[in-house]
């Protein structure tokens, strides 16, 4: 076990080994555990089959390291004999997310595990809250979603929680947040099946709070091979999606994805139980989506693709690391192709408009061009939340050019926030979110844009 950057050994780390199937998923048959020695080395006796290496997030995080968001970090096949020199490299956190967890009346909650998840890096950090409700999570750069979770519902008191999104733009940062647990409003339960009513098992699901603009979500952490699932949700309207990477890997095409309304009153365990079933359908064809860099003509790898049909079907894919092509499972009809805007921005690309096409036949080909920031002239490219709650936005533009910064709560009414000048092609905006924006009956979300003086957004 070594540090992924320094290559230095990680001593005294507990490591668990569990048997897995051919897909690398735990099968629950056998497990064993050992510890790394002073040189980061380990050795464990196992049976001749496939094994997965597993870390408990809190144990790894206590050393400022992170584990994968998936259960199994790495698989090893020892069916033919011993496996030697199995090297596992862990990522170390270089910045700190910390804060307090409280319930709805301001009381701190002790002993609740708080998670930070970065879906793009597939990393998880975890720590339990102290007596005063504080938690500390070491993370590297990237976009993190922080939320509390407890299998002991009495411990959490109010299982429905408000999750916070935090962006870490560099090393040695310290970002303070406050998590407020919200009353649980109800339970969403159901089953995932294919077109022949066979169970689609072990598929991770995500529930998004529609009113929060996809900022507040719950990750279903326990999903079974029989296809059954259940969520504990706070009041509000929730949209339920499969994990896009897992759906893409398995080539799943969904007949529909539901929106569920959890009422604010009633017993969550009895009266407020909502049932909804997902059904996957057999695709009749494939849309090959190719994403090309406008400057180089090279493919853009790893971009998530989401297809939605006029009939309400949903499909997911990701562009291949070599070819830049994503294979989207579809049926005949009208489809809209969406690319993940956050990923494009991280790649230095501007947003690609939604593409509409009519699918008829086994294969349709779509080529989309992603313009680089250098092509668009200027762009907001990074947001970081400071410890005092300010937003710090940075962007790129033409050296010496003046820009007007505007804010909005509804993407329609824009308010002047200030002017900046791009020095050496870069500019910076610092704002207290929404301080100059009307709040009556408006969304809590704040949107920003930069307008070139003389025209252009």
**Model pTM score:** 0.60
Query: Regarding beta strands 228-233 and 186-193, do their DSSP bridges make them parallel or antiparallel, or are they unpaired?
Result: antiparallel
Torsion of CA 308, 310, 313, 317, to 10 degrees: -20
Average pLDDT over residues 428-446: 65
Identify whether residues 358 and 443 lie together within a single domain. no
Looking at the chain, the whole-number percentage of residues with pLDDT higher than 70 is: 82
Dihedral angle computed from the Cα positions of residues 25, 26, 27 and 33, in that order, rounded to the nearest 10 degrees: 150
Question: Does residue 296 belong to any structural domain of this protein?
Answer: yes
Q: Which of 38-47, 150-159, 242-251, 274-283 tops mean pLDDT?
A: 38-47
Domain boundary among 344, 373, 402: 373
Q: Which residue has the higher pLDDT, 228 or 286?
A: 286
Residues 171 and 203 reside in one and the same domain = no
Regarding whether 220 and 169 lie in a shared domain, the answer is no
Q: Assess whether 169 and 193 both reside in one domain.
A: no
Q: Are residues 381 and 351 in the same domain?
A: no
Q: pLDDT digits over 405-428, tens only?
A: 888 877 778 888 777 777 666 777
In which domain, by residue range, is 329 found?
285-373
Are 80 and 142 part of one and the same domain? no
Let me know if residue 128 belongs to a domain: yes
Domain count, the chain: 5
- As a whole number, mean pLDDT of residues 325-353 equals 86
Tell which wins on pLDDT, 310 or 348: 310
275 and 204: one domain?
A: yes
> pLDDT value at position 65?
94
- Domain boundary (225, 257, 279) is at 279
Residue at 457 is within a domain: no
> Among 37, 36, 39, 32, which Cα is nearest to 54's?
32
Question: Cα separations (Å) of 343 from 120, 169, 209, 331, 339?
Answer: 8, 15, 21, 27, 8
* Averaged pLDDT, 160-182: 79
Identify whether residues 332 and 353 lie together within a single domain: yes
CATH code at position 78: 2.60.40
What pLDDT sits at residue 211?
66
Q: What is the pLDDT of residues 179-229, one digit of tens each?
A: 887 666 677 788 889 888 898 887 878 777 766 554 445 555 445 678 888
Q: Examine the domain organization and report whether 369 and 383 are in the same domain.
A: no
Question: Measured between alpha carbons, how far is 240 from 191 in angstroms, rounded to an integer?
Answer: 12
* Co-location of 26 and 85 in the same domain: yes
What is the pLDDT at residue 282?
Answer: 94
Which of 339, 373, 407 is at the close of a domain?
Answer: 373
- In terms of pLDDT, which residue wins out, 245 or 374? 245
CATH of the domain at 359: 2.60.40.10
Same domain, 101 and 87: no
Query: Residue 137 has what pLDDT?
Result: 95
> What is the tens place of the pLDDT at every residue in 103-146?
767 788 888 889 998 867 788 999 989 999 999 999 998 888 88
Residue 431 domain-assigned (yes or no)? yes
């Amino acid at each position: 076990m070594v540090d992924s950057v320094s290559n230095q050994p990680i001593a005294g780390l507990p490591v668990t080994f569990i048997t897995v199937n051919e897909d690398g998923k735990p099968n629950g048959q056998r497990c064993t555990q050992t510890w790394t020695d002073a040189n980061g080395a380990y050795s464990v006796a196992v049976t001749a089959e496939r094994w997965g290496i597993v870390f408990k997030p809190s144990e790894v995080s206590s050393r400022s390291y992170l584990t994968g968001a998936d259960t199994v970090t790495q698989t090893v096949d020892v069916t033919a004999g011993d496996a030697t020199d199995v090297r596992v490299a862990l990522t170390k956190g270089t910045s700190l997310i910390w804060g307090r967890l409280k319930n709805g009346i301001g009381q701190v909650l002790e002993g609740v595990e708080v998670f930070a998840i970065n879906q793009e890096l597939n990393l998880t950090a975890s720590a339990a809250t102290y007596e005063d409700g504080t938690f500390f999570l070491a993370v590297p750069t990237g976009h993190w979603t922080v939320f509390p979770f407890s299998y002991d519902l009495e411990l959490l008191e109010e299982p429905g929680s408000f999750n916070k999104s935090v962006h870490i733009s560099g090393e040695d940062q310290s970002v303070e947040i406050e998590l407020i647990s919200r009353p649980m409003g109800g339970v969403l339960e159901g089953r995932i099946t294919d077109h022949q009513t066979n169970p689609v098992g072990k598929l991770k699901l995500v529930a998004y709070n529609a009113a929060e603009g996809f900022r507040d979500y719950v990750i279903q952490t326990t999903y079974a091979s029989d296809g059954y699932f259940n969520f504990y949700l706070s009041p509000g309207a929730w949209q339920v999606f499969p994990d896009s990477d897992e759906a893409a890997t398995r080539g799943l095409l969904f007949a529909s994805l539901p929106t569920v309304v959890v009422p604010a009153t009633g017993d969550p365990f009895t009266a407020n139980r909502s049932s909804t079933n997902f059904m996957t359908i057999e695709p009749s064809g494939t849309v090959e989506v190719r994403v090309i860099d406008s400057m180089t003509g090279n493919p853009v790898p790893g971009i998530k693709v989401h297809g939605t049909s006029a009939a309400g079907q949903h499909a997911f894919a990701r562009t291949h690391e070599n070819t830049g092509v994503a294979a989207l499972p579809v049926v005949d009809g009208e489809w809209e192709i969406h690319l993940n805007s956050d990923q494009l921005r991280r790649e230095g690309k501007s947003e690609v408009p939604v593409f509409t096409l009519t699918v008829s036949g086994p294969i349709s080909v779509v080529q989309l061009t992603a313009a680089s920031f250098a092509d668009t002239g200027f762009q907001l490219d990074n947001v970081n939340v400071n410890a005092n709650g300010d937003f710090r936005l940075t962007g790129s533009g033409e050296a010496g050019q003046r820009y007007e910064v505007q804010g909005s709560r509804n993407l329609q009414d824009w308010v002047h926030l200030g002017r900046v000048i791009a020095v050496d092609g870069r500019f910076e905006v610092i704002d207290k979110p929404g301080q100059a924006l009307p709040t009556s009956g408006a969304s809590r979300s704040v949107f920003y844009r930069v307008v070139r003086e003389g025209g252009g957004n």
